[in-house]
Chains A and B, each alone.
Chain A
Amino acid sequence: MKSYDVVIIGGGPAGLAAAISSKKNGIDSILILERDKELGGILNQCIHNGFGLHTFKEELTGPEYAARFIEQVKELNIEYELNTMVMDISPDKVVTAMNRTEGLFEIKAKAIVLAMGCRERSRGALNIPGYRPAGIFSAGTAQRLVNIEGYMPGREVVILGSGDIGLIMARRMTFEGAKVKVVAELMPYSGGLKRNIVQCLDDYGIPLKLSHTVLDIKGKKRLEGITLAEVDSKGKPIPGTEEYYSCDTLLLSVGLVPENEISRGMGVEMNPITSGPNVNESLETSIEGVFACGNVLHVHDLVDFVSEEATTAGKNAAIYVKNGKERKSEGHEIMLNPIDGVRYTVPKNINVQRMDDSITVRFRVGGVYKNCYVSAYFDDERVIRRKRPVVAPGEMEEIKLTKEQLLKYPDLKTITVKIEEA
């Protein structure tokens, strides 16, 4: 059986940055396993720009952003296997993988970084009634057909869901000659970034209908049209608001789901809110030496933050390999407690001794709050209170904690993160 110090599951942005980070932190024996025919993951089909503003202080396309990391992986002589599917991982870190050339094979790892990314929610998960014709695509599937393969999935398009991929695809389909009639969003607010609403919808005169959903799908073989309706505050369609749109294409951008079948299979403890693993300050899961980063951990808006998170995971995987049981682990564990509008935090707990000088705690909120405060209470004492003009579910929020700050509270048990309205 082959063995490596660090095995990274997935060669997308998270896997690439984690591998580079492990290497830079002194590990030479690294293997990236990628199921697609090239490295880069979903970035390869994200040919629009806007990537890398935080990381490189410039605007790159998805493939350009990926290329910067792929080049480093190659320069650093990090091994990778393409077209290779990880079938499962045992709790003692034996990875079973499969490809055309080697068949079914096992790899023993000292540390594992889970970086499998996410998948799109499907029509089925929404239980949208109607027929089941051709012409209904998740936005990412349509993006692949158009951007990678050059095929038009249709001519007249309705988009359900205002997630970022849906917004990007509204613009892309317009560029490629399709008519995008409307983007409908079930919630009273968009699920995507503000800048995407402006640059992808407003600039092209594509209407965004908030609090709307698809009520019916018509067309037995190929989609012929859909009925939209307004929904009330409970998400129930309001009778009399039905509106029919003839269209041959319905794109769905209704959420992303971390792909954790392998994590579950190996017994990693999961967070029901994020559908990703619970992790500590080192981005280590409930299984020692198994780390997670990127969209498999929680769904991100910006790849820059994925890269940053993966750098942390890769570094900690390296530390784990080098120090193993000798790793600093004694001492002070602090739990993070998300309440009052804060849906979850990554990480879930912090070991003060083991943490870096500072840590970014990332989270999402459950609704739109204006002129509010993001607050953190160290047990009962409010220590952080940051004014925010607006927070929304579509944009990930963060607070920063420093080691110096936490060391001042030797008895601290819980940090409560919440939204306080002004």
Chain B
Amino acid sequence: MKIWPVYKKELRLYFTSPVAYVLLTIFLLIAGYFFYSIFAFFTRASMQTAMNPGMGRDLNVTDSVLRPLIANMSVILLLLMPLVTMRLFAEERRAGTIELLLTYPVRDGAVLVSKYVAALTLYGVMLAGTLAYPAILLYFAKVEWGPLATGYLGLVLMGGMLLGIGIFASSLTENQIVAAVVAFGISLMFWIVGWTAEFAGGPLGAVLTHLSILEHNDTFAKGVIDTKDVLYYLDFTALFLFFTLRSLEARRWAG
């Protein structure tokens, strides 16, 4: 599978346009703000603990800083990932460049994987930027490496699924805004689908809970790698990539 040339081209387009830098800046700013507020709260709690040792029972860096930080970052991702992917196919279609791209000797699947991996790479850079916060934490407190690593693994998996949703939405339209809105809509549905679980109850409630995207993320941040959660993200990623491939193919037949 020839993915290197198109992958390089996509990365070039991300990083020679303002897109990558704007996304990076905004993401790091908001994540930094969350980190600051969570850490400041933790510091105050620590001060109070010094006067009242009984409170210190539940106070640890993983549960009080890293877990809320990762949970907050998940929500920002939900909002930002559609913006990472919206351009990928929609813009090619609008500019007509897809007509050339899909007549080069590269299979549709390879084009899709190249674009997906390019988006994943940009996401990787965004996540790498946030490693600054645990690094700052390391200066003041002891960080548990295990939960930190699994927490980021969870973020990668969840982001991967959101990118899959986004690339699928992008393949449906030639309008980037439509692509972003559709991706955001699907992602949001995956977020709020769990909210109705407690009213639904029974097996349906269990299914709805299982479908919820954020539900699966918290276990990672606790330091647990559960195959149920890993498979949830990988399955949905694969499903949306498959949908994208079919959408590309359908577009070919329709002309």
Pair from one complex: no
Residues of B within 8 A of A (CB): none
